[in-house]
Amino acid sequence: MSRRIPLSGVLLVQDNEDTVDAVLDQLLSICGEVVVVDGGSRDSTPDRVLARERTRLYPRPFSGNLAEQKNFALDQALGEWILLLDSDELLCREALAGIPRWIRSPWCRWYKFARLWLLPEEKGGPPQHFLKSPRHHPDWQLRLFRNAAPFRYDLGRSPVHHNFPKRGRGRGRKQAAAHLLHFDFLLKDRAAREAKVENYRTLDPASEATHAMYLWEDYPGAEAAELPACARGLEIRGGTGPGPG
């Protein structure tokens, strides 16, 4: 049977009641369905997901291997294409407007977005700057891809910082003007990020250079850069993301 859904959204959650609504708003604005896998939430996250139409929730205890959890979620998607977001990410308006057009390409099999790590503002309000460093920018992320076998994570590699195998991907494109906004620095204080890094070190001791990206205050050569216009004014905590346009 051929798939009838052009695009599926995929999202992993666990105790994300402060951000899940904004991420779901964005995914549902352009996706025919959203697959959500919950690793064991103790807050209102599952209820918020179940309240949405076109959203399917799969409770699945989290084993500590993100690649395995994501592969399970990807396998549930029915769409011809998949858009994969994390619970601390939003797309800029340019990306939301372009995705329905990009997935109609007869030859392209994947797209990468330039992820921007947002910095907290001293005076509060929506963030207007991102972290620019040799490691943090450009931080290309392959998050829009055809629902096909090559786009599943290799479980023999890192359980935390994982990528799709390059073999079999086919032709794709980097969308430099389509930004993926990473809100981790705004959602977690220094102590929370240090705890996250220690957990990552336990799970994947070989990826220290990547773990260190979360402690941006210590990163050499890092500086603040102004956000592109299409990425300004977006909020993820306690708010909603914009629809296309």
- What proportions of the chain, in percent to the nearest 5, are helix, strand and coil? 30, 25, 45
Q: 83: helix, coil or strand?
A: strand
Is 91 within 8 Å of 69 (Cβ atoms)?
no
Is 142 within 8 Å of 207 (Cβ atoms)?
no
Condensed to tens digits (0 to 9), the pLDDT of residues 13-57 reads 999 999 999 999 999 999 999 999 999 999 999 999 999 999 999
Residue 106 forms part of a structural domain: yes
Is 153 within 8 Å of 67 (Cβ atoms)?
yes
Q: State residue 245's pLDDT score.
A: 29
Is the pLDDT at 200 greater than 60, yes or no? yes
Residue 1 forms part of a structural domain: no
Is the pLDDT at 150 greater than 50, yes or no? yes
The DSSP result for 180-223, as a single string, is EEE-HHHHS-HHHHHHHHHHHHHH-TT-HHHHGGG-GGG-TT-E
Ranges 97-101, 194-198, 203-207, most confident: 97-101
Label the pairing between strands 7-13 and 81-85: parallel
Count of domains observed in the chain: 1
DSSP designation for 59: E
Band (pLDDT 50/70/90 cuts) for residue 206 is confident
**If you average pLDDT over residues 152-180, what whole number do you get?**
90
Q: State residue 80's pLDDT score.
A: 97
Is 144 within 8 Å of 102 (Cβ atoms)?
yes
The pTM (predicted TM-score) of the whole model is 0.93
For 88, the token pair is: 């601390």
**If you average pLDDT over residues 176-200, what whole number do you get?**
94
CATH number at residue 133: 3.90.550.10
Residue 244 forms part of a structural domain: no
What is the average pLDDT score of the chain?
91
Q: Which stretch of DSSP H or E encloses residue 93?
A: helix 93-102
Domain hosting 128: range is 7-155+168-231
**If you average pLDDT over residues 192-211, what whole number do you get?**
89
Residue 56 forms part of a structural domain: yes
Residue 243 forms part of a structural domain: no
Place of tokens 């509060």: 124
Residue 238 forms part of a structural domain: no
Would you tell me the crossing angle of helices 20-30 and 93-102 to the nearest 10 degrees? Answer: 40
Among residues 76, 54, 103, the alpha carbon closest in space to that of 10 is found at 76
Residue 61 forms part of a structural domain: yes
Condensed to tens digits (0 to 9), the pLDDT of residues 104-130 reads 999 999 999 999 999 988 756 677 899
Place of tokens 């890192």: 158
Residue 199 forms part of a structural domain: yes
| Distance spanning both ends of the chain, measured CA to CA | 34
Q: What angle do CA 227, 198, 120 make, to 5 degrees?
A: 20
Q: 82: helix, coil or strand?
A: strand
CA–CA separation, 77 vs 56, rounded Å?
Answer: 10
